Structure formats: C-alpha cells, structure tokens
Amino acid sequence: MKKRRSAEQIVGLLRQADVDLGKGAMVPDVCRRLGISQQTYYRWRTRLCGLGGVAAAAHESAIEAGMCGAYRRTRRGAVVPDHA
C-alpha cells in the first residue's frame, strides 16, 4: 500500500537516516529500518536535502498545495520557476 508522508515527516526520516549512517550503518539497512525503498531514500535526499532541509520541505509543501504561483512542477517532479 502506498503511504503519503508530509514534507516534515520526510525530513525527520532523513535526519534519522543521517544519524544511523553516521554511526556506520549501510543505506540498505537504514532504509529497511525506516520502511522505505532505497530509491525513495535517494529521491527524498535529492529533492529535500539539496535545497536546505526544513525550509525547503515547507516550500515543497506550499508548492504542492498550490500556494506558490511563481513555481511549477515538471513532469519529472522538479520544481522550477514558472517563467522557465
């Protein structure tokens, strides 16, 4: 069954993953413990951590809710300025 998580929940899971990885755990083990696939982990990390953590997560939530008219989502899921 597909689970939907809020951006804040995703950031929390990524932080937990970073703690576990810092202790020497391997990515497959961390993903199994968190209940997500490795593909999901890397997608979340690329999408949220590269943008600045919680602030980016809040921005991502606002975009998904349609509150940011200046941005749009491409077919591949990237967030780009509306004029691009």
State the average pLDDT for the chain: 75
For residue 73, give the 3-state DSSP assignment.
strand
Average pLDDT score over residue span 56-84: 58
Q: How many helices (H) and strands (E) does the chain have?
A: 4, 2
> Among 18, 5, 21, 3, which Cα is nearest to 60's?
5
pTM, entire model: 0.56
pLDDT digits (tens, 9 = 90+) for 30-64: 999 999 999 999 888 888 755 555 555 555 665 55
Q: How many CB atoms lie within 10 A of CB 13?
A: 19
Task: Work out the average pLDDT over 23-28.
Answer: 91
Please, what is the Cα angle at 63 between 51 and 37, to 5 degrees? Answer: 60
Task: For the chain, give the percent of residues with pLDDT over 90.
Answer: 18
Q: Please give the average per-residue pLDDT across 70-77, as a whole number.
A: 62
- For the chain, the domains span 7-81
